[in-house]
Homo-oligomer: A and B are copies of this chain.
Amino acid sequence: MQAEKKQRTKLTELGEFGLIDHLTGDFEIKNKSTIKGVGDDTAVISYGDKLTLVSKDLLVEGVHFDLTYTPLKHLGYKAAVSNISDIVAMNGTAKQLIVGIAVSNRFSVEALEELYSGIIQACNVYHVDLAGGDTTSSVSGLFISITVVGEVDKDKVVYRNTAKLNDLLCVTGDLGAAYMGLLLLEREKHVFKADPSLQPDLEGHDYILGRQLKPDPRTDVIKMFNEMKIKPTAMIDISDGLGSEVLHICHDSALGCRIYQEKIPLDPTTVNMAAEFNMSVYTVALNGGEDYELLFTIGQEDHEKVSQMPGVSIIGHMTDKCEGVQMVTPDDEMVEIKAQGWDALRKREP
């Protein structure tokens, strides 16, 4: 049987406008707040008496992702949902997405289509309109810049600097799996580099790979808050790791906190994989990042309500600032949670 030759259209074969039409042409508008999407100087968005939320991200090849093991479609999906997650972290709903991509000529039209198909899939899943797209060239590598616009009722917006003393500290889902998925992918890449005849051994690791390659922002939790009439006192999404996000809430709210190590939610497959890598699974949960779970604080009076929320763990409480940001181990030792420095400025590989 002859292998089917994959189509490869050079980017320069389509004009700039042809390409944008081609990539975004059959995308339907879903939100009535989207007055004008792709195709003018700006997107036009109309909100009534809600607050408008705007967030953006810049993703860089070789820093935030590695195309050797990240399929372009997953990359597009993830770029979109990591931004949607920022809107979720304000207790809001994402409505529009604007995409900017810089690519070198080594990418084909089909490669960009793959990337866009992931973005569009995320938009479909999360009911978000693609309200603008811009593609330009880069000297080398792929850069993705995404802006997301959302809305939230004025009385429902949740900031990160409004936690109160004695509030309960809660986290959704489980932590560290996305990072273990990344380490697994990197290990298999190195094995493959050393001996290309070896096939990557990814079997049985669906959960951690899924968490790394196709994370899901917790829009369901926002819906639950609404239904159960719970309003967190502070909230942030876990993109850089629990440790970093806890420090944000504490620093910005001028408080300390105490986290109980054994309360940190972990999936068994994350625990197993951390053991395989000879790593402390708690280090992974604290510093791993990319979980896109929510870390939030809630008044003591909401303790019962929050206990009833499926998949939410109460992991500690807020303390006075002078008590610091501490984790209590099962042996009752106190470990200070520290900033990890500027990880974003260190490349994944030297």
Contact = CB atoms under 8 A, between A and B. Distances in A.
Interface of A: 11-12, 14-17, 19, 35-36, 39-49, 51-58, 60-64, 86-87, 89-90, 92, 96, 98, 100-102, 105, 131-132, 134-141, 143, 145, 147-150, 154, 157, 159-161, 236-237, 248, 251-252, 339, 341-347
Interface centre among A35, A45, A140, A345 (most CB of B within 10 A): A345
B53 A56 contact: no
B90 A40 contact: yes
Contact of A102 (B14, B63, B150): B63
Nearest to A49: B48
A160 B40 contact: yes
Copies of this protein chain in the complex? 2
A52 B55 contact: no
Contacts of A49: 48
Nearest to A143: B143
Interface centre among A44, A150, A252 (most CB of B within 10 A): A44
Contacts of A36: 159
B149 A54 contact: yes
Contact of A64 (B62, B105, B136, B159): B136
A192 to B, nearest CB: 21
A55 B137 contact: no
B35 A137 contact: no
A96 B90 CA distance: 18
A349 to B, nearest CB: 10
A112 to B, nearest CB: 12
A299 B289 CA distance: 56
Given A86-B41, A137-B344, A138-B63, A58 B96 contact: no
Contacts of A44: 51-53, 90, 157
Contact of A139 (B62, B86, B101, B342): B62
Nearest to A138: B60
A185 to B, nearest CB: 19
Given A98-B147, A345-B12, A345-B16, A89 B41 contact: yes
Given A64-B136, A98-B147, A145-B145, A47 B56 contact: no
A98 B86 CA distance: 14
Given A52-B52, A61-B139, 19 more contacts: A11-B345, A15-B339, A17-B251, A17-B339, A35-B157, A41-B87, A42-B54, A42-B87, A43-B55, A44-B53, A44-B90, A46-B154, A54-B131, A57-B100, A58-B101, A60-B139, A60-B143, A135-B344, A137-B347
Interface centre among A47, A56, A134 (most CB of B within 10 A): A56
A51 B39 contact: no
A64 B137 CA distance: 9
A56 B96 contact: no
Contact of A40 (B12, B132, B159): B159
A145 B147 CA distance: 10
A50 to B, nearest CB: 8
Contacts of A101: 58
Given A51-B45, A60-B136, A102 B143 contact: yes
B41 A237 contact: yes
30 contacts: A11-B342, A12-B346, A14-B342, A15-B339, A15-B341, A17-B248, A17-B251, A17-B339, A19-B342, A39-B252, A40-B90, A40-B159, A42-B53, A42-B86, A42-B87, A42-B148, A43-B54, A44-B157, A46-B51, A47-B52, A52-B52, A54-B147, A54-B149, A56-B147, A60-B136, A63-B137, A98-B147, A102-B143, A138-B143, A143-B143
